[in-house]
Amino acid sequence: MDSKKPNRRRFLKGGAAFAGLAAGDARLAKGQTVGTPPKKIDELIAYGERSRFVTSVRIPVAERHSPDEFGLTFHVLTPLQDSVGIITPSSLHYTATHRGAFVPDIDPREHRFMIHGMVDRPLIFTMEDLKRLPYVSRIHFIECLGNRARPTHKTVQETHGLTSCAEWTGVPLSLLLKEAGVQNSASWIVAEGAEEVKGASSIPLAKALDDCIVCYAQNGEPLRPQQGFPLRLMVPGFEGIYQIKYLRRIKVVDRYYMTYDDYGHINPDPKVAALTHIIGPKSVITFPSGGHQLSGPGFYEVTGLAWSGAGAIRGVEISTDGGLSWKNAELRSPAYPMAHARFGYHWDWDGKECMLMSRCTDELGTVQPTRAEVAKYWNQPLDANLRIQGADNSVMPWKVASDGSVHNGLA
Amino acid sequence: MGLPRLLLVTAVLGICQTAWTQSPTYGVGRTPSAEEIRAWDIAISPTGKELPTGQGTAKEGAVLFVQKGCSGCHGATGSEGPAPTLISRKGVKPAASMPSMPCLAPCVNDANTMGVHSPFATTIWDYINRGMPLGEEGTLTPNEVYSLTAFLLYKNDIIKEDEVMNAQSLPKVKMPNHDGFALPPEWKHGTPRLQGYP
């Protein structure tokens, strides 16, 4: 390291114009001071990291801390209030585990993935085997069924932080199932992880053969351990618990297996059951949202995310008057199937108290419902106690006070 | 080409087509041995067809509940935490150590204890076998899992104390919630999750 220093000094001396670009305390022409990054430069050359001035972080859900008293990680929320675009950085992607789990430290050379059960040819793959096969890269959201806004929540991280979106790369599950030769009488699969609790979910075979991916990469690099390194299942549009991490086994079967994960979803009402597995069209304004402070009346770009488990987002509408009137927002990103889409809306705030809301429509024409519409559907009173059945995709209100502070509109 | 010959050609093509779709395209991966499959195949269906031989009773389970450390986390009565409630106590609220927890994924910390809520007793066997005890998962023998399952079923008033649980009797246990669930609807690409829902 020391031997490199003279060279660096020579370089800095030799080119005053570059001084502002290189590290080291120096003043740019604009008069802005630039400091030295605290980490060793060769570490940062090897693996970059964000500026120390960027401090956005995940937080555990308030209902159960992570790590808990057993050292288990449970549910950790993405800081959506700071999000831009549609890709969640892997480090900020929300995390959830079955029952609470330790994050396993798996050597990919030791990892095996098996397909068996009602197939003609049971198969076992190494990671190397899987990487020889044709792969796809797709952008998909994952959302936890527990992602529901409560009146006590302050920020969009608390109300909606159990959703994230990333580019996932891996082998189509349909390809692997065809290699194994699924038998005609099969109707479900059970997918299982290798972590200590071996989380497992029953998934319809029709979905498994449609668009599921056996993923080994996220956002252009191997999966992070919290996201299932070295292998996870992507079940686009289905709620998070189906996206089995540390995937080690798929058993092809002829019935719903009622695993530990499965039974947590059961409900006697078929309507509630139908709303419990797939994410409905949903959107939320991420700016301005709870905890943000507007500096005064004038122009603001209202922005947020929209997604649906049934396909691509077709449109987003914004209300600035608590749902009395709606105007079209613009999509500011591609709208991929089962992916977050970014929307924007030009807004001139007049400085008066108001309620901001967004609602989206997906490619099937399904419109995100307001809480009032949900209450009417179930014939229940519309009040703070209304609990949305199944996956909560209701419209989220943000109240802008006349002093520019922004608050949870459900409170 | 006469009609019979055309039919013959079609039939042969048909056979080739079937054979082609049934054979692997890539030939990557290897065939696991029967022993490898058996060792990994821990998913227990409601029919219980994967259950191993072995047996146990609630009395044996009561001893194991303490011996294996279950009571250390779930409480001596199975309902005073800090880990989720396993044995429902009528009129007793969930552990105060997790007062605001509405739902442990999945919901097992309130009156819907695992013993009462699951429609099949096989789910309890499967979960204890795969996921308990914390930090020593996968170390229980089949007899121990049958015994602990029997203990929870007995303490939740579902079976009698002397009932022997094994691969034949466990799937036949009638759970209180046996009829209390709806299966997820049949999934089809491009259909809304519930027609007519706002």
Q: What is the ipTM of this complex?
A: 0.85
Count of CB atoms situated within 10 Å of the CB of A222? 17
- Which of A62, A99, A364 is the closest to B104 by Cβ? A99
pLDDT surpasses 90 at B44:
yes
For A127, the closest chain B residue by CA position comes to B29
In a domain, A272, yes or no: no
pLDDT surpasses 50 at B15:
no
Give which of B165, B114, B174 is closest to B144, Cα–Cα: B165
**Taking the CA atoms of chain A, what radius of gyration do you get in angstroms?**
24
Q: Are residues A258 and A286 in the same domain?
A: no
Domain count within chain A: 3
In a domain, A276, yes or no: no
Share above pLDDT 70 across residues of chain A, in percent, rounded to a whole number: 92
Chain-centroid distance, C-alpha B22: 31
Q: Are residues A304 and A354 in the same domain?
A: yes
pLDDT confidence band for B107 (50 / 70 / 90): very low
Q: Record the pTM.
A: 0.88
In a domain, A73, yes or no: no
Chain-centroid distance, C-alpha B84: 17
Give A-chain residues touching B104 at CB under 8 angstroms: 64, 99-100
Q: Are residues A244 and A138 in the same domain?
A: yes
Q: Are residues A240 and A301 in the same domain?
A: no
Give which of B38, B51, B68 is closest to B123, Cα–Cα: B51
Q: State the average pLDDT over residues A248-272.
A: 90
Q: Are residues A321 and A249 in the same domain?
A: no
For A99, the closest chain B residue by CA position comes to B105
In a domain, A235, yes or no: yes
Range of the domain at B80: 56-85+101-171
Range of the domain at A348: 282-408
Q: B131 and A198: CB-CB below 8 Å? A: yes
Calculate ∠ Cα A266-A267-A272, nearest 5°.
Answer: 115
Q: Are residues A292 and A259 in the same domain?
A: no
pLDDT surpasses 60 at A355:
yes
In a domain, A248, yes or no: yes
Most B-contacting residue of A254, A266, A374, A385 (CB-CB within 10 A), to test interface: A266
Decide the pairing of beta strands A163-172 and A136-143: antiparallel
Q: Are A94 and A66 in contact (CB under 8 A)?
A: no
Q: Are residues A242 and A123 in the same domain?
A: yes
Give the list of residues 6+ apart from residue B60 with CB closer than 8 angstroms, or none.
B143, B147, B150, B151
In a domain, B183, yes or no: no
Q: State the average pLDDT over residues A224-239.
A: 97
pLDDT (0 to 100) of residue A129: 98
For B19, the closest chain A residue by CA position comes to A181
In a domain, A92, yes or no: no
For the domain that residue B163 is a member of, what is the CATH number? Answer: 1.10.760.10
Alpha-carbon distance of A264 to A268, in angstroms, equals 12
Which amino acid makes up residue A170? G
For the domain that residue A382 is a member of, what is the CATH number? Answer: 2.60.40.650
* H helix runs in A181-321, sequence order: 205-208, 260-263, 270-277
For A181, the closest chain B residue by CA position comes to B22
Q: Are residues A118 and A218 in the same domain?
A: yes
- Which of A179, A251, A260 is the closest to B126 by Cβ? A260
Q: Are residues A242 and A376 in the same domain?
A: no
As given in the structure block, the two tokens for residue A95 are 């995390």
In a domain, B72, yes or no: yes
Q: B181 and A257: CB-CB below 8 Å? A: no
pLDDT surpasses 80 at A319:
yes
Which of B1-5, B82-86, B93-97, B144-148: highest mean pLDDT?
Answer: B144-148
Q: B130 and A197: CB-CB below 8 Å? A: yes
Q: Are residues A21 and A141 in the same domain?
A: no
pLDDT surpasses 60 at A279:
yes
In a domain, B194, yes or no: no
Calculate ∠ Cα B126-B131-B133, nearest 5°.
Answer: 120
As given in the structure block, the two tokens for residue A282 are 């949903």
pLDDT (0 to 100) of residue A101: 83
Q: In a 3-state reduction of DSSP, which class is residue A288?
A: coil
Q: Nearest CA of chain B to the CA of A52: how many Å?
A: 35
Q: Are residues A232 and A191 in the same domain?
A: yes
In a domain, B143, yes or no: yes
Alpha-carbon distance of A103 to A404, in angstroms, equals 41
Please give the full DSSP string across A64-75, using - where no structure is assigned: S-SS-TTS-EEE
Cα separations in angstroms, B72 against A355, B77, B81, B84, B129: 49, 10, 9, 12, 18
Alpha-carbon distance of B60 to B151, in angstroms, equals 8
In a domain, B23, yes or no: no
Q: B41 and A251: CB-CB below 8 Å? A: yes
Label residues A306-320 b or e (16+ Cβ within 10 Å = b).
bbbbbbbbbbbbbbb
pLDDT surpasses 90 at A27:
no
Domain count within chain B: 1
Listed in order, strand segments (DSSP E) in chain B are 55-56, 165-166
Q: A179 and B26: CB-CB below 8 Å? A: yes
In a domain, A315, yes or no: yes
For the domain that residue A201 is a member of, what is the CATH number? Answer: 3.90.420.10
Q: Are B165 and B124 in contact (CB under 8 A)?
A: no
- Residue A119: what are its φ and ψ, rounded to 5°? -130, 155
In a domain, B93, yes or no: no
Give A-chain residues touching B187 at CB under 8 angstroms: 204, 206-207, 278
Share above pLDDT 90 across residues of chain A, in percent, rounded to a whole number: 77
Calculate ∠ Cα A364-A367-A373, nearest 5°.
Answer: 140
Which of B9 and B65 is assigned the larger pLDDT?
A: B65
**Taking the CA atoms of chain B, what radius of gyration do you get in angstroms?**
24
* H helix runs in A52-200, sequence order: 127-132, 156-160, 173-180
Q: Are residues A118 and A261 in the same domain?
A: yes
